[in-house]
Amino acid sequence: MGKAKLHSARGLAVSTLEIIKNGAYSNLQLNAAIQHSKLEERDVHLFTTIVYGVIQHRLTLEYWLKPFVKQPQKMQPWVRELLYTALFQMKYLDKVPNHAIFDESIEIAKARGHEGQRRFVTGVLHQIDRDGVPDFNTIKDPTERLSIETSLPVWMLEELTKEVGLAKAESIARSINNAPAQSARVNRAVSDIENATDQLIADGFEVQQSPVAPDGLLLNGGFVAGSAAFANGTVTLQDESAMLVAPAMQITDPSMKVLDACAAPGGKTTQIATYLDHDLGGQVDAFDIHEHKVQLIRNNAERLFVRDRVFATAMDARLLGDKYENEVFDRALIDAPCSGFGLLRRKPEIRYEKTLQDSQNLQKIQLALLDSVAPLVKIGGLLTYSTCTILRLENDDVVNTFLAKHPEYELETTFTENNLKADRDTKTLTIYPDDFNSDGFFIASLKRVK
């Protein structure tokens, strides 16, 4: 029985968390673990909940565990992760009784370690049960208290507070540990909202139209990538916020030439392609610096039936000026490499890895990309700049620096079909994770005027 516990949902969660703590991406590691496991669907759900939950609440769990471990430096990494999984279940999962959590955690300790480690785990869990975890209210500093409560680093909260005020920063922080909605984009190249909705209902999903993106559907009741509608190219996986970029580019003529400078894995490229008609000369030239990622763009274009109008190439977008004459494209997109802080629901671990310095370094790359692509857009054309982060340093600051250097460009109000955040006082559009419970995102529309 003991060794079998290591392959249970809880045992697998401990080993997966160890790997993620050593630098693996949570979504990739989770998928790999599920594929190689023999877990039933209900256990897959528990496994996923525990892994994401521990990563999301790591600072909170550290704070709660601290008083019960006298020599934390001597604790093996797997013991720490095991105790975090137990604490997470005790505090965040209503339907799991403490005795079940204790019994299985102790069995995992017994199977994984020696007798001393089993006794240690048993002792810590029972003491937590007797004494209770420390109260957040004992933390005097309000920013530190919010950091521990929401498991967001202090520097990030300070930066957000500086940019959007304390109340909004707190609202964002409290929203990012909610589970992400499951959304899919309807592939307009082969279907429409009504047809895709009917197919997904037939596949067993509950379906709602997205309030954010006109091509978006919100889904409950299954795994979209395993559905018939996904297999036949009717829908593809994409967050609602990311679906706003292609419509914002206002591709009004199917014969337009479009550049997607940082395109992999091709979600936005394939959406752009749905507005174009190859027979009329419309095409999107898509680039990524890595050849293996370019293949992902081609595969996605093939799967979604837009391969005839997508031309994908491996190249550093900062060198595109060497490849093209000036004023070639009607529209251009730079979906820039960024810190990804808008994706904290899907990649919760990045909050502990990235620093403000990373954002400062990324800003230089973002500006270099804009400088490279700016001459390639026709006069009257649009250059769209987007990121999946919510820090001003990589968003409005980049746009303002670019405009100061490029008087041939003017900022236009970012278009959305659903007129999102109509009362905002900026022409750019920043979607925060608490606005619509979607990913955080930024879009700026730059029009070439001379």
- The Cα–Cα gap between 436 and 267 comes to 21
- The Cα–Cα gap between 300 and 47 comes to 29
Among 89, 104, 19, which Cα is nearest to 54's?
89
Please tell me whether 38 is known to bind a ligand: no
Angle at 168 between CA 163 and CA 169, to 5 degrees: 65
Angle formed by the axes of helices 142-150 and 58-65, nearest 10°:
110
Please tell me whether 262 is known to bind a ligand: yes
Please tell me whether 263 is known to bind a ligand: yes
- Strand 441-448 with 409-412, pairing: antiparallel
Asked if 213 contacts 185 with a C-beta cutoff of 8 angstroms, the reply is yes
- The Cα–Cα gap between 195 and 324 comes to 40
Please tell me whether 11 is known to bind a ligand: no
User: Hey, what amino acid is at 428?
Assistant: T
How far is the first Cα of the chain from the last one, in angstroms, to the nearest whole number? 74
Please tell me whether 267 is known to bind a ligand: yes
Asked if 200 contacts 217 with a C-beta cutoff of 8 angstroms, the reply is yes
| Structure tokens belonging to residue 295 | 């293949």
Please tell me whether 265 is known to bind a ligand: yes
138: which DSSP letter? G
User: Hey, what amino acid is at 64?
Assistant: W
Return the number of other C-beta atoms located less than 10 Å from residue 248's C-beta: 20
Please tell me whether 335 is known to bind a ligand: yes
Please tell me whether 268 is known to bind a ligand: yes
Give Cα 194 distance to the centre of its chain.
Answer: 27
Strand partners of residue 377: 329
- Cβ neighbours for 144, distance < 8 A, ≥ 6 positions apart: 154
Please tell me whether 140 is known to bind a ligand: no
- Strand 429-431 with 441-448, pairing: antiparallel
Among 225, 242, 223, 235, which Cα is nearest to 197's?
235
Asked if 122 contacts 133 with a C-beta cutoff of 8 angstroms, the reply is no
- The Cα–Cα gap between 177 and 174 comes to 7
Among 172, 199, 171, which Cα is nearest to 184's?
199
Please tell me whether 435 is known to bind a ligand: no
**Active-site residue, selected from the candidate residues 336, 388, 391, 398:** 388
Tell me, yes or no, if 388 is annotated catalytic: yes
- The Cα–Cα gap between 426 and 209 comes to 27
3-class SS of residue 288: strand
The residue count of the chain comes to 450
| Sequence ranges of the binding site | 262-268, 288, 316, 335
Active site residues: 388
| Sequence ranges of the binding site for S-adenosyl-L-methionine | 262-268, 288, 316, 335
